[in-house]
Structure formats: structure tokens, C-alpha cells
Amino acid sequence: MRTRVNDFAIKLANVNGTGSASANGLLMQAIFRMGIPVSGKNLFPSNIQGLPTWYEIRVNHKGYTARALDYDLMVAMNSQTYGKDIREVREGGYLLYDSTWPLDPALMQVRDDVNFLGVPFAQLCNESFREPRERILMKNIAYAGTLVAILNVDIDVVTALLDQKYAAKKALRESNHRALRLGYDYAKDHFECPLPFHLETMDANSDKILIDGNTATALGCVYAGATVAAWYPITPSTGALDAFKMFCEEYRHDKETGKKNYMIIQAEDELAAIGMVIGASWMGARAFTSTAGPGISLMNELLGLAYYAEIPAVVIDVQRVGPSTGMPTRTQQGDVMECAYASHGDTKHICLYPANPNEAFHFAPKAFDLAERFQTPVFLLTDLDIGMNDWVVPRLTWDDSYQPDRGRVLNAEDLAKIPKFQRFTNEDENYIAARTLPGVDPKGSFFTRGSGHNKYGGYTETPDEYREVMDRLLLKHKAAAKFAPEPVIIRRPDPQFGVITLGGCDLAVREALDLLAERGVVADFMRVRAFPFHDDVEAFLAEHDFCFVVEQNRDAQLRSLLTLETGVAKEKLRSILKYGGFPLSATHVINGILGSLGVPDPQAQELAPTAAGAEQQMEE
């Protein structure tokens, strides 16, 4: 095998609940600190302990860090899944296993093209540690030590990370160092280190951070000035509220009194969570909830109320696999349609689709600005992959001149100038009528209702009066397009078609288009970042003979939304759909596009020899 530096993928097969996550995270962080573009994807079960779980690390000096499907090295630490794991190793690749117990010879025959590296991790740990739990936990650090040796991870970086992590826990620190050396020394003594594919220090990460999307989103909410958060625990969004709480405890206690200038309410269910957000927003606070698809289903009722009564609300939807309970620990973009039209009757909402944690951070204040400006619910749709995995993204920046856009809110002074306040009259060029906040001024009092109302806010059952309000709401929604984030468009000379995508598909699609361009299949790229659609979206659709729409759901929801909400002809949009629950890979996109174009492509095969089969295996 020829030498490959900073361009490979490894997969770690573990048992859930055995402490592997900290070892895997340690490796990921060490590679990040070595300045190498890297991604880590946790493919975990909906389980606390005992079921198989996988972690994938991809390094790529060019910055292509979407999920890889072909693994140069399988770290097979779960004997229950040996059979499956071994099939996913790339031809000529390696499999690292615990040789305390012999590997089934039949397994080795399945893949005579794979190199087997055995390290007696259990035996080494049993000899070195006394406590049963410690023996299990330290096995993880021991395999990390072996990987440090065979992949040429900078051991100084790793030891520094351990020192930092266990700065206050001496015993644990020493155990970790000892375990690391066990695996490291064994590898150095028994294998030729490093392997042909390995790491070399780079300098690609000096302006980057390693952060998950839930944390970044929560931080964005803190910076946006959110004071009320109401939520109901649900995977994969729980981390967002955990992080919000953590940041508030750090930055939101009043300096003089020590009291909280926020309130986090763990609601009895999602119906209540959105109700609390609506109540707080009605009062004028910046309030949000964080949930996943099942939560949005429950919130539908009150989302319609917020839409119709024109009350701001920010809803973070960390999408997971539906329908129903679906697969709570798997990723999908399955809530695109649900969020766009949530609730009964005619409703349309503003939706933002960040691609990564950095964008999620920046879209959070944007979501509050839009919600208050347009007096309506705004969805921030991330997904499990963005929300729960650590991503290498540009450092977050903040402009201290930012002031929240509170929208059209009349204060006592404004009210004094008008003869009478009537809630839904006197709209501006964006069809937004000014609102008042309770308790501010007697003149601003009005009656908020979800029942039929006329433009004065009064109860009505009269068709024309009802319609007048509903028609303005439609225009208001359209007007939001120019205030929402515009699409990201990357053009190439003489494109044959366009490729449209959204959210976390970004990296995989861009990588795919680069690789396709190298072999003469040239396409323009557009990542939609918001609904209602910006004019640029319509223009992009118009300027291409046809476009592929790449998304992670079965029913081509973005494609549906585009055909419903733009003038594009349905036939112009071809779908590439990946919805089994694992993050998208460039290979999926390349195969999808070439397959649809009818291009026989031997190179695609070469690009990923075992990829398609592997994914099928995993997803079935």
C-alpha cells in the first residue's frame, strides 16, 4: 500500500456504555490539535448500555470531512459485530482487535485482503488494573494508545490532553497515562509503526474550534439575549438545553445580586414547552424551545396560534429519524415539510437550515430577529449529525454592535402619538403591524386570540374580515424572504446542471461536486439556507436546465417545497435521497448523480470499492 498522509478514515466498533466515547473523543481532539482537518461521527444506538455503537473518524488534508464509507482501519472492540465490521474494511486495510481471545479463523477467511493487528488489550489491562470497572474503561484508552502509535498521532498532544482533562483527578490521570502507554508500547514493540496511512502535523486549524451543533446553537441563544427557555427532554436536542443551562450559569447571573436573569423551565410536555415560549414572547421576552420531530408534532396546535395571533417564537428542531418514535439516535432531514407548514389551517413558517455548528450559532440570533420582526414562529432546523457530533468549524465571532431587532413594538411614547391602538392595522411595507407589550401602557392593551379576528383584533366570523388578515399573513411570510439568509451558491464555468441541497449535506455535496468536476461532470451548487425562498433560489432554478436535489429524507421534502413555493417545473428537479439514518457521504451523491445521468463510471467504483455494500449492510 502506498503511503497516504492525512487522508484516511477509521471506524471504531464498541459496546455502548463501556466508556469508549471518551477515548474516541480524545483521538479526535488530538488530531484536531495537530492542525489536521478531521471529523468524528458517532453512530450510536438508542440504548444506555450493551448495544453496538460505532465511531468514525475521517481526516483529509483538503478539508473533505463529510462521512467516509470506506475504512482504512477498523478498530474492532465489539466481538458481537466482528462479522459485520470486517466486511467494511477497505481492500488492503487493517483490522485491530483484542487478541486476548483468538479471532475466529472463519472470520479471517472472509477477508484475506485485510491485515489483522491483534493486541491483548483485556489481558494488558487486567494485569495492570485491579478494579473491574477500571479494567473495562482503561481498555479504551489502551486502544487509543495503540492508535497513537500506528497512526502517528502526536503523543505529546495526547498526554497534554489527558493532563488537562484530569488536572484535578490525580489517580485517574495516572491510570489514563498508564493505559495509554500499554497500548502504545505494545504496538511499537509488535508492529511496524506507523501504518502506510497516517498523520503528520499540519496548520489548518489555528482559526478553528471543535464544537457540536447543540452547544453552538445554545451559545447563539445566549448571545441573542434569550431569557426564557422551555423544553421537554428529547434526543437529540437535549444537549442544546444542557449547554444553554451551562452557559447561563456562567454568564447570566447578575454581577451584583447573583440572581438569574433567565429562566429555564423543564415543561411537562412539548405542548406546554411551546405554550411557555408563546407566553413569554407575548410579554416581550426572547424565548425559545429545543426539540426534535416528535416534539414538533405535539407543538403543531400552538404553533398555529402563534402564527395567527402573530406572536414570536423560536423553535430549534434537532431532526432525527421519523416517523413516530423512528430511530431517535439516527440523523435525518425529515422535518422540512412539517416545519414549513406546521399546524392546521393555512400556515407557513420561517425556517432556517444551518449546515454546521458555526452557522447554527450565527443563525440563532437571526432566528430571534426574524421571529420578533415578523411576529411569528421561526424554526432553526439542525439535525442529529450537526447537533450531537463534534465538528471542526471556523471560530465563532461576535459583533459587539449587534442590537436585537425587536420588530415593531410601540412604547408609551409611540402610543401617545396615535389616537387609538388597533392591533393589526397600519402595517408597514413588509405587512407587519405594530404590536404592544403587556404592562407597558394602558393605551396598548388588547385582546390576543387564536379565534377568528379582524384587523382590529376583534372577534369575527365575517368572511371578508377573516380573509383580510389571512391574506396579509401570506404577504408577510413572503416578505420575510429577503431578510432571511440567502442561499450559498458556488458556480463553475459551463455547468451541465445544478445541484441543490440544504443543512448538513453541505460538505458531502461540495466534495462530490469537486470530484465530479475533476472528471468532467460540471455542476453548480446551491445550498438553500432559509424558507421562504430568497429570489436567488428562484433564479438558480431558472438558469439551469435541470437540478439535482440532495437531501436526507424519503419523500424529497425540499424538492416538494421548491415545487410548491417556486415556479420551477417538477420535471426539472431530480432527487438524490439518503435517509437510512447515517450522515451523507460524497459517494452517495456521486453515485446518485452518475446513476441518474446514466454515466457508466468505473472511477466511481474505484473511488469507493466497498462503499455501497457497506452502507447497505449497516442500514439494513
Partner 1 sequence: MPSINKPIATHPSLQKNELGLTIRDYEGGMSTLCAGCGHDSITAAIVRALWELSITPHMVAKLSGIGCSSKTPAYFVNGAHGFNSAHGRMPPIATGANAANHDLIYVGISGDGDSLSIGLGHMCHAIRRNVRMVYVIENNGVYGLTKGQFSASADVGSKSKKGEANNMAPIDPVMLGLSIGATFVARSFSGDKEQLVPILKAAVAHRGFAIVDVISPCVTFNDHSGSTKSYLYTRQHELKATETDFVAPASEILAHIGQNGAVNVAMHDGSVIRFKGVPRDYDPTNREKVVAYLEEHQGNGEVVTGLLYVDEKAPNIHEMNDTCDVPLTRVPFEKLCPGAETLARLQEDYR
Q: How far is the CB of 246 from partner 1 (least distance, A)?
A: 11
Binds partner 1 by CB under 8 A, chosen from 10, 28, 147, 280: 280
Q: Which three cell numbers stand for residue 445?
A: 392593551
- Report helix, strand or coil for 287: strand
Q: How far is the CB of 359 from partner 1 (least distance, A)?
A: 16
Closer to partner 1 by Cβ: residue 283 or 337: 283
Q: Which three cell numbers stand for residue 229?
A: 427557555
Closer to partner 1 by Cβ: residue 285 or 589: 285
Identify which of 84, 81, 86 has the alpha carbon closest to the alpha carbon of residue 112.
86
The verdict on 268 binding partner 1 (CB under 8 A) reads yes
Residues near partner 1 (CB under 8 A), total: 72
Please give the residues from 168 up to 227 whose contact with partner 1 meets the rule CB under 8 A: 209-211, 215, 219, 222-227
Q: What does the alpha-carbon distance between residue 140 and residue 524 come to, in Å, rounded to a whole number?
A: 44
Block residue for cell numbers 402610543: 415
Side chain identity at 233, as an amino acid letter? Answer: P
Q: What does the alpha-carbon distance between residue 503 and residue 68 come to, in Å, rounded to a whole number?
A: 18
The verdict on 462 binding partner 1 (CB under 8 A) reads no
Q: What are phi and psi of 604, to 5 degrees?
A: -60, -35
The verdict on 301 binding partner 1 (CB under 8 A) reads yes
Binds partner 1 by CB under 8 A, chosen from 22, 47, 80, 261: 261
Segment interacting with partner 1, rule: CB under 8 A, options 234-242, 283-291, 583-591, 592-600: 283-291
Closer to partner 1 by Cβ: residue 116 or 466: 466
Q: How far is the CB of 181 from partner 1 (least distance, A)?
A: 25
Q: What does the alpha-carbon distance between residue 338 and residue 345 come to, in Å, rounded to a whole number?
A: 13
Segment interacting with partner 1, rule: CB under 8 A, options 61-69, 258-266, 498-506, 573-581: 258-266
Rounded (10°) angle between helices 170-190 and 132-151: 50
Q: What does the alpha-carbon distance between residue 72 and residue 95 come to, in Å, rounded to a whole number?
A: 8
Q: What does the alpha-carbon distance between residue 1 and residue 8 come to, in Å, rounded to a whole number?
A: 13
Closer to partner 1 by Cβ: residue 110 or 418: 418
Binds partner 1 by CB under 8 A, chosen from 273, 481, 576, 608: 273
Q: What does the alpha-carbon distance between residue 267 and residue 231 come to, in Å, rounded to a whole number?
A: 6
Please give the residues from 494 up to 513 whose contact with partner 1 meets the rule CB under 8 A: none
Binding mask 31-50 for partner 1 (x = CB under 8 A): -xx-----------------
Closer to partner 1 by Cβ: residue 415 or 488: 415
Q: What does the alpha-carbon distance between residue 552 and residue 545 come to, in Å, rounded to a whole number?
A: 23
Closer to partner 1 by Cβ: residue 70 or 369: 369
The verdict on 467 binding partner 1 (CB under 8 A) reads no
- Please list the residues that pair with 381 across neighbouring strands: 317
Binds partner 1 by CB under 8 A, chosen from 279, 326, 452, 609: 279
Segment interacting with partner 1, rule: CB under 8 A, options 109-117, 137-145, 192-200, 249-257: 249-257
The verdict on 377 binding partner 1 (CB under 8 A) reads no
Closer to partner 1 by Cβ: residue 147 or 285: 285
Q: How far is the CB of 35 from partner 1 (least distance, A)?
A: 11
Please give the residues from 530 up to 589 whose contact with partner 1 meets the rule CB under 8 A: none
The verdict on 294 binding partner 1 (CB under 8 A) reads no
Q: How far is the CB of 286 from partner 1 (least distance, A)?
A: 8
The verdict on 267 binding partner 1 (CB under 8 A) reads yes
Please give the residues from 312 up to 331 whose contact with partner 1 meets the rule CB under 8 A: none
Q: How far is the CB of 445 from partner 1 (least distance, A)?
A: 5
Side chain identity at 413, as an amino acid letter? Answer: E
Q: Are 216 and 396 in contact (CB under 8 A)?
A: yes
Rounded (10°) angle between helices 213-224 and 357-374: 40
Identify which of 174, 441, 319 has the alpha carbon closest to the alpha carbon of residue 182.
174
The verdict on 276 binding partner 1 (CB under 8 A) reads yes
CA torsion sign, 122 to 127 to 132 to 134? Answer: negative
Strand 7-15 with 71-76, pairing: parallel
Binding mask 394-423 for partner 1 (x = CB under 8 A): -xxxxxx-xxx-------------------
Binds partner 1 by CB under 8 A, chosen from 133, 260, 344, 491: 260
The verdict on 287 binding partner 1 (CB under 8 A) reads yes
The verdict on 52 binding partner 1 (CB under 8 A) reads no
Q: Are 371 and 16 in contact (CB under 8 A)?
A: no
Closer to partner 1 by Cβ: residue 267 or 490: 267
Q: How far is the CB of 25 from partner 1 (least distance, A)?
A: 12
Closer to partner 1 by Cβ: residue 260 or 570: 260
Closer to partner 1 by Cβ: residue 269 or 518: 269
Which 3-state string (H, E, C) describes 134-164?
A: HHHHHHHHHHHHHHHHHHCCCHHHHHHHHHH
Q: How far is the CB of 243 from partner 1 (least distance, A)?
A: 11
Cα within 13 Å of Cα(487), Cβ side: 24
CA angle 445, 451, 455 (to 5 degrees): 55
Closer to partner 1 by Cβ: residue 357 or 592: 357
Binds partner 1 by CB under 8 A, chosen from 4, 165, 188, 252: 252
Q: Which three cell numbers stand for residue 104?
A: 475466529
- Report helix, strand or coil for 184: helix
Residue 6, phi-psi category: left (phi > 0), alpha (psi -120 to 50), beta (remainder): left
Binds partner 1 by CB under 8 A, chosen from 121, 191, 262, 421: 262
Please give the residues from 434 up to 453 whose contact with partner 1 meets the rule CB under 8 A: 437-442, 444-451
Q: What does the alpha-carbon distance between residue 139 and residue 182 come to, in Å, rounded to a whole number?
A: 9
Sequence length of the chain is 620
Block residue for cell numbers 465490521: 85
Q: Are 52 and 45 in contact (CB under 8 A)?
A: yes
Closer to partner 1 by Cβ: residue 441 or 514: 441
Q: DSSP assignment, residue 395?
A: P
